[in-house]
Amino acid sequence: MGMFNNRNTTPVVASNTTATGTNGTYEKRGGMFGRKEPRAMPTGTASYNSRPSFGQWIKATWLDIVTMAIMGAIGLGVYMADPASSRSFPVVFQDGEIVYPQFAYPLRNEIIPIWAAALMAFFIPFLVFLIVQIRARSFWDVNNATIGLLYALIAAAVFQVFVKWLIGGLRPHFLAVCKPVIPQSLIPTVGGNDNGNDAGSGMGNVANGYRQIMFDRSICTGDQKQINDSLESMPSGHTTAAFAGFVFLYLYLNAKLKVFSNYHPAMWKIIVLYAPILGACLIGGALTIDEYHNWYDILAGAIIGTLMAFSAYRMVYASIWDFRFNHIPLLRHAPFVYGAGPSSFDGFHDALFTRKAGWGTHEGGSWGGAPFDAADGPRGTMEPHPDGPVQGHGHHESTSSRLQRKPVGASRHGEQMV
């Protein structure tokens, strides 16, 4: 028939009836974020993918909101505090040569201010979450993605400000900000042959260490706020925020576009997938141009942000890499059972953007897979519970007895919050 002729692209499933317990027909959700009322599925069960009332959402989310507020306050307090450590640093040898010229760069304006990096790290992913809802149309997808993004950003921010405060390091422009003035009485001793640890000046931690070349901030004459900031270089807050937000977005796009999946995707998807990583690298790299950070500060921030992004994504979605269900939001009141077969009642089968190779249908992404953090087998399902959707019959009944849990803090259907 020719290589480019149209052909039926519907995935072949051994038995759709056995796999789904349905006849393959599903009701379209209305509105961008789904219905407020539980959606009836063909089996007579209700969908988990239904929007709760605002009161139900607050009741299920208040602990997260309080925790975020507390951690934000702690992070801001530590950020505003003076450095906890008192570092020693060399300035010049006896002949006037600068010991570490890598800390003698001029103070310049930031190419990307920290507030701009933080805003981009949140609002760019959030905008993408909303764009994906053109097809996904899932309240819980937006909810989980946004809350997971906040998990990553806030946890990474608090982590890095504590490291800055307790450990820190010298920024490349430290000496320009410090403006050190070595007392005339100590200049003859600097770089001398005395290998003792104290010059005996009585002026504090100055002109001591090997050959008396080490000083502390008491010889600095610059602005105290700038000096405090220049003592807290490691890790980079810009890079931490950028990688926390954009790596989370990378994982989200991979799940929604099924880039690493069971079919050959178009090239534009890998371009879109790695655009956030490029953005994070550019934000971090710009800090070496404006001399605000050393390369190791940027590397540390990238590691912290990436770690928090991976952790947060796995908290709110069923998998990180397993393409069969890494697009499915997790709920608090009902566990996700891996390898239980295609679900006929959770309503998350189409909570993604791509529609190629049958994705978006129950059958399209149900079978096969290359699991990483989940058991090998068919796609999973939500475990039933008394106040949620009623379990169907046939194939699902054999798996429903594996785990029985009562919902936590949920007295009405719809209090399904991640």
Scored b (16 or more CB within 10 A) or e, 59-68 reads bbbeeeeeeb
Amino acid symbol at 382: M
Res 208 pLDDT > 60 = yes
Res 374 pLDDT > 70 = no
Average pLDDT over residues 180-194: 70
Least confidently predicted of 43-47, 82-86, 191-195, 267-271: 43-47
What per-residue confidence (pLDDT) applies to 323?
85
User: Two tokens at 95?
Assistant: 């002949």
Res 412 pLDDT > 80 = no
Average pLDDT over residues 182-194: 68
Q: How far apart are CA 23 and CA 168, in angstroms?
A: 61
Percentage of the chain modeled with pLDDT above 90:
38
pLDDT band at 409 (very low <50, low <70, confident <90, very high): very low
Higher pLDDT, 358 or 94: 94
Mean pLDDT of the chain: 76
What per-residue confidence (pLDDT) applies to 17?
33
Domains, the chain, ranges and CATH?
54-84+106-176+223-316 (1.20.144)
Average pLDDT over residues 220-226: 90
Average pLDDT over residues 54-75: 90
Cα angle 259, 346, 359; round to 5? 25
Res 418 pLDDT > 60 = no
Average pLDDT over residues 95-115: 87
Res 117 pLDDT > 50 = yes
Q: How far apart are CA 282 and CA 279, in angstroms?
A: 5
What per-residue confidence (pLDDT) applies to 180?
87
Res 375 pLDDT > 70 = no
pLDDT band at 296 (very low <50, low <70, confident <90, very high): very high
Q: Classify burial at 321, counting beta carbons within 10 Å of its beta carbon; exposed 0-12, middle 13-18, buried 19 or more.
A: middle
What per-residue confidence (pLDDT) applies to 308?
97
| Among candidate residues 260, 405, 401, 261, the one with its CA nearest the CA of residue 331 | 405
User: Two tokens at 289?
Assistant: 């141009």
Q: How far apart are CA 268 and CA 274, in angstroms?
A: 10
Res 10 pLDDT > 50 = no
What per-residue confidence (pLDDT) applies to 20?
31
Higher pLDDT, 22 or 326: 326
Res 304 pLDDT > 70 = yes
272-280 long-range Cβ contacts below 8 angstroms, 24+ apart: 274/250, 276/124, 276/125, 276/245, 276/246, 276/247, 276/249, 276/250, 277/246, 277/247, 277/250, 279/120, 279/124, 279/242, 279/246, 280/239, 280/242, 280/243, 280/245, 280/246, 280/247, 280/305
Average pLDDT over residues 51-60: 84
Question: Hey, which residues does 89 pair with through a beta bridge?
Answer: 215
> At residue 343, what are phi and psi to the nearest 5 degrees?
-85, 145
What per-residue confidence (pLDDT) applies to 205?
67
Res 194 pLDDT > 50 = yes
Res 45 pLDDT > 80 = no
By the 8 A CB rule, do 148 and 313 touch?
Answer: yes
User: Two tokens at 277?
Assistant: 């990583």
User: Two tokens at 177?
Assistant: 């900000």
Please report the DSSP string for 199-222 in residue order.
---SSSS-SBSGGG-EE-GGGB-S
pLDDT band at 37 (very low <50, low <70, confident <90, very high): low
pTM: 0.77
At 139 the three-state DSSP class reads helix
Three-state SS across 276-299? HHHHHHHHHHHHHHCCCCCHHHHH
Least confidently predicted of 34-38, 51-55, 97-101, 323-327: 34-38
Average pLDDT over residues 253-277: 93
